[in-house]
Structure 1
Amino acid sequence: METLQIGEMKLTWLNGGVTHLDGGAMFGVVPKPLWSKRYPVNDRNQIELRTDPILVQANGLNILIDSGVGNGKMNDKQKRNFGVTEESNLVADLDTLGIGTNDIDYILMTHLHFDHACGLTKCESDAWVPVFERAEIITTQTEWNEMKNPNIRSKSTYWAENWEAVAPLVRPFEGEKEITEGITMIHTGGHSDGHAIIIIKDGADRLIHMADIMPTHAHANVLWVLAYDDYPMTSIKAKEKWMKTGLENGSWYSFYHDAYYRALKWDVTGKEIIAELKRNR
């Protein structure tokens, strides 16, 4: 498991499973000859996308960023369609670290699409129950509203089995919310109407987790947004703001979906990588 220190805060990437999605959909209108130079693609035009939660240990708290694809949530057809070749090993990874499911204090849900939210629940005695019994689940009010009442486009990704059992644990917020000193969630919209990013800072050290408005290092160009984005111009606007801010103050950027990098820093131009944490493949 790869780790990164942001001041006194420790980040650890856990195994939440893997999907393989169409590269064209992941890069929207960007021509394949351009994006394929930045991110490997297989002979079916699919790219490997991790769904790996990040454990943040800060101020005596155990905090998860998103929850992976879970286990037993998908039938064979769904696994084929979403290119799922590996389900989550999240709980086992936490156990290796000496952390039980009851030791998680918060789960920061950047949004509630299935590949981020399936790990919130599990099936016991033919009923869905929370995986993390006492964790407060933080998401935007906008995202929570849509999760419960998806529209004709979003109902394929907002699943009842991912929210009904954890509803008493959910703590929605408007605008932005400080989780603990140095960790803040900010509602950006874009990928989904309720999408949020996470800012982590301790002293001079800063990290921005852009979630699915920058799912991999290859999406650093502010115009390279997903065909899956419900509001692509909102994604572009948010990326412009947070890339400018982060590059100017030397922030790390972390990734949930990247199969090659866990986190990295660019120079002020955003073109040269000056520090990196690669995934152990």
Structure 2
Amino acid sequence: METLKVGRASLTWLKGGVNFLDGGAMFGVVPKPLWEKKYPCNEKNQIELRTDPILLQVDGKNFLIDTGMGRGKLTDKQRRNFGVHEESLIEESLKELEMTVEDIDGVLMTHLHFDHACGLTQKKNGEFHPVFPKAAVYTSAVEWEEMRNPNIRSVNTYWEMNWKSITDQVRTFQEELEVVPGLRMIHTGGHSDGHCILVFEDGAECFIHMADIMPTNAHQNKLWALAYDDYPVTSVHQKEKWMDFGYSRQAWYTFYHDAFYRALKFDSTGAKVDEVKRER
């Protein structure tokens, strides 16, 4: 498992699953001759996307950033349509670290689409139960509302099996929440109406988790938004804001979906100066 130390925070990438989605959808209006130079695709025009939660350990607390694809929850049709090749191995990953799901104090949900939220619950004896029984689940109030009351478009990704059994664990916020000193969840919108990013600052050290407004290293360009984005113009403006913020601080940018990099650091011009590659 890959790791990164940023100030007093330690990050470890767990195994949350992998799926293959259409490259055109992941890069929106960007022509294929441009995006395929930065991120390879297979013969079906699909790109590999991890769904790997990040274990964030800071101030004696254990947090997860999102929860992976889950296990045993998708139908054969869903696995085929979403290109799922591997499901979550979160418990196994935690075991390697001599931890269990009961050691997780909080789950920081950037948003609640199925590929981020299926790992919140599991089926036992015909009913769904929380995977992380002692954890508070943090999400924006806007996202939590849409999760429970999806519209005609979002009903395809906000599923009752991922939220109903964790209702008592959910903690919502409006615009911004400081989880521990220096660690903020910030409501951006864009990819979904309630989408959030994470920003951690400790002195001169900083990491930014852009979640799905910058899902891979190939989405560094401020104008490259996903066709999946509900509000792509918002994604562009938020990416511009937080890339400028991070460039000025030489922040690390961490990834949940990238199949090649776990984290990248850029200088003030946006040029890469450091990296954590995924072990393949």
- Which category of TM-score, normalised to the shorter sequence, fits these structures? over 0.9
Local SS of the residue matching 1:78: helix
Which residue does 2:17 correspond to in 1?
A: 17
C-alpha distance in structure 1 between counterparts of 2:76 and 2:100, whole Å: 30
Farther off after superposition, 117-126 or 94-103 = 94-103
Where does structure 2 lack aligned partners over 5 or more consecutive residues? Answer: none
Structure 2 counterparts to residues 36-51 of structure 1, below 5 A: 36-51=36-51
Amino acid in structure 2 at the alignment position of 1:275: D
**Cα displacement string for residues 209-268 of structure 1 (whole angstroms, at most 9, x for unaligned residues):** 000000000000010000000000000010010000100111010000000000001222
C-alpha distance in structure 1 between counterparts of 2:90 and 2:113, whole Å: 18
Provide the alpha-carbon RMSD of the alignment.
0.6
Which residue does 1:279 correspond to in 2?
A: 278
Where does structure 1 lack aligned partners over 5 or more consecutive residues? Answer: none
Amino acid in structure 1 at the alignment position of 2:102: N
Amino acid in structure 1 at the alignment position of 2:231: Y
C-alpha distance in structure 2 between counterparts of 1:65 and 1:259, whole Å: 17
Shift of 1:188: 0.1
Which residue does 1:199 correspond to in 2?
A: 199
C-alpha distance in structure 1 between counterparts of 2:4 and 2:202, whole Å: 13
Local SS of the residue matching 2:86: coil
Which residue does 1:236 correspond to in 2?
A: 236
State the identity %: 61
The answer as to 2:252 corresponding to 1:257 is no
Shift of 1:81: 0.6
**After TM superposition, what 4+ stretches of structure 1 lie above 4 angstroms from structure 2?**
none
**Cα displacement string for residues 186-209 of structure 1 (whole angstroms, at most 9, x for unaligned residues):** 000000000000001222110000
Number of equivalenced pairs: 280
Amino acid in structure 2 at the alignment position of 1:279: R
C-alpha distance in structure 2 between counterparts of 1:116 and 1:188, whole Å: 17
The answer as to 2:156 corresponding to 1:171 is no
Local SS of the residue matching 1:85: strand
**Cα displacement string for residues 7-29 of structure 1 (whole angstroms, at most 9, x for unaligned residues):** 12100000000010000000000
C-alpha distance in structure 2 between counterparts of 1:51 and 1:59, whole Å: 26
Shift of 1:91: 1.1
C-alpha distance in structure 1 between counterparts of 2:173 and 2:73, whole Å: 27
Which residue does 1:30 correspond to in 2?
A: 30
Q: TM-score, normalised by structure 1?
A: 0.99
C-alpha distance in structure 2 between counterparts of 1:276 and 1:100, whole Å: 29
**Cα displacement string for residues 68-112 of structure 1 (whole angstroms, at most 9, x for unaligned residues):** 000011111111111100000111101111111111000000000
Q: TM-score, normalised by structure 2?
A: 0.99
C-alpha distance in structure 2 between counterparts of 1:105 and 1:201, whole Å: 20
Amino acid in structure 1 at the alignment position of 2:212: D
Which residue does 1:117 correspond to in 2?
A: 117
The answer as to 2:152 corresponding to 1:149 is no
